Structure 1
Amino acid sequence: MGCTPIYSMHGYAPDDETLAQIETGVDTRETVAAFLGRPTTDGLLNDEAWFYVQSRWKSVGMGAPQEYDRQVVAVTFSEDGRVANIERFGLERGEIVPLSRRVTSTPIKGRSALSQIFSNFGRVDAASLFRNR
């Protein structure tokens, strides 16, 4: 008899349908916060961008949980505080790749922040998954 995998999701990254309701050049930090909530990862770029991070995990038997997917949604703001760009990133063969982009002419500034968010991919100890529950 084999062990059935248990899947779990941690964090929050809004789906494309939800993001479609946010208008670039119109919505502000305040309206994004009211609609999506404030992200847990912000301030990495002096509040120029907010990052919403979602991870998917798989546990089998007594083995440590393994992260098998991570997506990051980056909402970038212009100097006047309005939404300038919305991008979704994921990993493909270990490389950070854009999965969707609202404004293609202005990619996110500070890709090093994305590298930091993705750098711990799969490197979380099992105990940290159950803290603050």
Structure 2
Amino acid sequence: MLMFDKMLKPAVRTVAFCVCLGAAAGCTAIYKNHGYVPSPHELAELKVGVDTRDSVIEAVGAPSSSGVLKDSGYYYVASRFRHYGAKEPEVVSRELVAISFDQRGVVRNIERYGLEHGIVVPLERRVTSSSVENKTFIRQLIGNIGTFNPNTVTN
């Protein structure tokens, strides 16, 4: 029995060490980068009043997003998130480069923003759900049989 106790102590120590090592590794921060922002060197190659939309894409790449309107600017966004344990991811840094154009499509202004210029705006994609999910065309057609009113067709 004494021999078994001597063998068990190193095994318990090894298991305890592995558990502590795993707990410490689980609490380290993990950083993730999302998006792309051109470097200051790449932006220095762009000339305000000379470059066009096409030459901007050739020089620094396609934008992360562009404005809603046809003649609006290009936006390059890069974010760095820190994941720490079971906590919600936190935005550590965010950079935005906004390139605006005039009516002719020529670069009018180049601006760079960071978190120090404002508040963190969460970037998210929201999709409107539909009641048509998981319903085939035949199921929708059969479901409308009782709701059809011929009087509404003749109007």
Identify the TM-score tier after normalising by the shorter chain: 0.5 to 0.7
Identify unmatched segments of 5+ residues in structure 1. Answer: 97-117, 125-133
Aligned to 1:95: 118
Aligned residues: 101
Per-residue Cα deviation, 1:37-83 (whole angstroms, up to 9, x for no partner): 22131033433211001101011123332112111100011111111
**Mapped partners of 1:46, 1:90: distance in 2:** 26
User: Does residue 40 of the first structure (1) align with residue 42 of the second (2)?
Assistant: no
Q: Which of structures 1 and 2 has the larger relative contact order (alpha carbons within 8 angstroms, sep 6+)?
A: 1
Q: TM-score, normalised by structure 2?
A: 0.57
**Mapped partners of 2:101, 2:121: distance in 1:** 24
Task: Say which structure is richer in strand.
Answer: 1
Aligned to 2:121: 119
Q: TM-score, normalised by structure 1?
A: 0.66
On the 8 A contact 2:101/2:108 being kept in 1, the answer is yes
Distance 1:12 1:21, change over 3 A: same
On the 8 A contact 2:82/2:92 being kept in 1, the answer is yes
Per-residue Cα deviation, 1:75-121 (whole angstroms, up to 9, x for no partner): 011111111110001122x726xxxxxxxxxxxxxxxxxxxxx5316
Larger radius of gyration: 2
Task: Say which structure is richer in helix.
Answer: 2
Identify unmatched segments of 5+ residues in structure 2. Answer: 1-23, 126-155
